[in-house]
Structure 1
Amino acid sequence: MPLTDNSIRNALEIKDKNIVFTDDSTFMNVHGTMSLVYFAKLTKDVDRCVNCGLTGHVIKDGFNKNMIIAPSLSLRPTFIRLYRQKYICKSCGSIFVAKTNYVWDCCQIAQPVRQMILSEAAHNASLKDIGRRFNVSDKTVQRIIDEEAKLHKKRHTESLPKHMAFDEFMATDKLSFIWLDSNDHRTGDILPRRTSYQIKQYFESFSLKARKQVRTISLDLNAGYINLVPKLFPKARIVVDRFHIVQMANRSLNSSRIKVMKTMPKRSKEYLFMKRDWKKFLESFDSIEKITPKYQYSVNYYETDLNLITKCLDLDEGFAKSYEVYQDILKAIETSDVELMNDAILDYHSLNTPMDTTMKSLRKYRKQVLNALHFDYSNGFLEGTIGRIKKIKNGAYGYRNWTNFIKRIDLQIFWLRASSSAQ
């Protein structure tokens, strides 16, 4: 069966019936590259002038020749040499050409190609790689992203979500601030700097009524944020992220383990166990094997995890008590036991170990820490969003321009998600 005109239209995604193919396609050298070129003509019967609006004064006046970048079925560049009908108005002298929704005026890129470029930009790829894929420059790719940005509305300052999450990340060359809605996980906004002055100035652009509607704000143990929140959100309760609480205790226990480990001979069983199986000290006590011995590769004999951990804890009293505090914190968070967490914080006494610093911070912000067990909100999704932002940055080999960086983040995380949910 021969290839029909309609098949070519489908391959090039042409829906405008006024575009008619005039000759067979051929291979031509375009901008130094052997390319596949189609030949087509765009003509319409036009009675009314687009400038003066008069009828009966428009005549055809030859064609304008354009080389349009078209969708490619392979890595070979594909173009359409499009002859556009040109018109002239005898009344006002205006000159204009036939229009089509396949390609914008004064543009050399077909609409399907523009959509493909946006689709590629919604994934982790550098602008140069995208431009190379569609035979355009990286500047053209950025310009298409800029045009997409103009279609999206600016932020509203009339309302704020009831539950928010704050965090920071390394954007261009300094730390930036980001917040999102803790309920629907939509990114609220990203500020170029995380200074208290900029954050305060930003949120004060919202009305006091909107800020009073905020009920909880999830964040890590950042003293700057904790001190700033009551000034901006009078009725909001601060919820310290549970992951950061465990992470602080985790690091302190690890530091104590390393300190004790360095006092032991490197061939001792305790040293080898703490060196190779260090993750077992960080596991929840309920998940540790206590009854059935198993072969321990670090010490080369059968033993339970509990017995080996106990032998190591007996080496140093401060390490043992740090381990007990760590387990209490872990269990309190796993079971949302507010009383256990409160007792662990208030009953703690200095051990001259790295755990002292962690417990000092938890005691200082005890109220906010206990809120973490009262509410289910956390910074988990926000951390995932920051992880995606870092991948965007790495995929593009870094960004120097803040505006372009934010547009790329919005395209991948916010605009694409909004359009997908609408469908």
Structure 2
Amino acid sequence: MDMNYSYDKLISRCFPCAQLITDRFHVVQQMTKAFNVLRVQVMKEFDTKSPEYRHLKYYWKHLLKDYDDLSDIPFYSRSLRKWTTSRELVEQLINYSPILYQGWQVLQLASTHFRNKDSQAFFDLIESLNTEILPETFVKKYQFLLGKKASIKLALELGYSNGCLEGMNNKIKAIKRVAYGFRTFRNFKKRILLMNKTLTN
């Protein structure tokens, strides 16, 4: 399940013997949201017409990628007005602010521990976060995960995942958004089935 407070209480009440497993997708989502909030805070410290503001606004997706997975293939950046690579771009962005650099380091380390299923190192990192170095809002979003420690440990130990379901929900929401409404629910349902190639003649 996800980390919704009401779901947790409901399941614990209806199924007292059940073991709750937090879906890994939502843990990663919590970490990336924490960093994005920090990025926006840092971005707003610059003038809206400054290159730093534009770069942090347009290239935010590069900052969320694992550093080892960043491409070394050069591309021309119209905003930077030069040829660069994803790795060079990220190195430039994180040096715009010491706080952004620290937050990016935390995201990279936490993601590595989580990907390696090292729950001990993952939670040790979160417990060591200091509000004297990083903003309180950033630290609190990570410390929220400490309240789900048991269910996150199970998520790393077991193979259960809501990934397929979350992907399906996202596709349905995208269809609904770009279609600007369907005449009937039947047409909406057909479009979903066609998307998944499950509609038969």
> How many pairs does the alignment contain?
186
Structure 1-normalised TM-score?
Answer: 0.38
Larger RCO: 1 or 2 (CA < 8 Å, sep 6+) = 2
Matches within 5 A, 1:230-245: 230-245=12-27
RMSD: 3.3
Give the Cα separation in 2 of the matches to 1:389 and 1:398: 13
Query: What is the CA distance between 1:266 and its match in structure 2?
Result: 4.1
User: What are structure 2's unaligned runs of at least 5 residues?
Assistant: none
User: What are structure 1's unaligned runs of at least 5 residues?
Assistant: 1-218, 400-407
Matches within 5 A, 1:187-206: none
Judged with a 3 Å threshold, the aligned counterparts in structure 2 of structure 1 residues 396 and 375 are, in CA distance, closer, same or farther, namely: farther
2:148 to 342, 346, 365: 365
Give the Cα separation in 2 of the matches to 1:357 and 1:282: 19
Matches within 5 A, 1:200-215: none
Query: What is the CA distance between 1:335 and its match in structure 2?
Result: 2.7
SS at match of 2:46: coil
Report the equivalent of 1:297. Answer: 78
**More displaced 10-residue stretch of structure 1: 358-367 or 336-345:** 336-345
Query: What is the CA distance between 1:281 and its match in structure 2?
Result: 0.6
Report the equivalent of 1:345. Answer: 126
Judged with a 3 Å threshold, the aligned counterparts in structure 2 of structure 1 residues 354 and 288 are, in CA distance, closer, same or farther, namely: farther
Judged with a 3 Å threshold, the aligned counterparts in structure 2 of structure 1 residues 398 and 322 are, in CA distance, closer, same or farther, namely: farther
Query: What is the CA distance between 1:243 and its match in structure 2?
Result: 1.2
SS at match of 1:302: strand
Matches within 5 A, 1:34-73: none
Q: Does 1:327 align with 2:108?
A: yes
Matches within 5 A, 1:12-411: 219-289=1-71, 294-350=75-131, 351-387=134-170, 395=182, 397=184
**CA-to-aligned-CA distance 1:70-122 (integer Å, 9 cap, x gap):** xxxxxxxxxxxxxxxxxxxxxxxxxxxxxxxxxxxxxxxxxxxxxxxxxxxxx
Give the greater-gyration-radius structure (CA).
1
Judging by fraction of residues, say which structure has more helix. 2
The answer to whether the 8 Å contact 1:246/1:329 transfers is no
Give the Cα separation in 1 of the matches to 2:107 and 2:182: 38
Give the Cα separation in 2 of the matches to 1:382 and 1:352: 34
SS at match of 2:144: helix
Structure 2-normalised TM-score?
Answer: 0.74
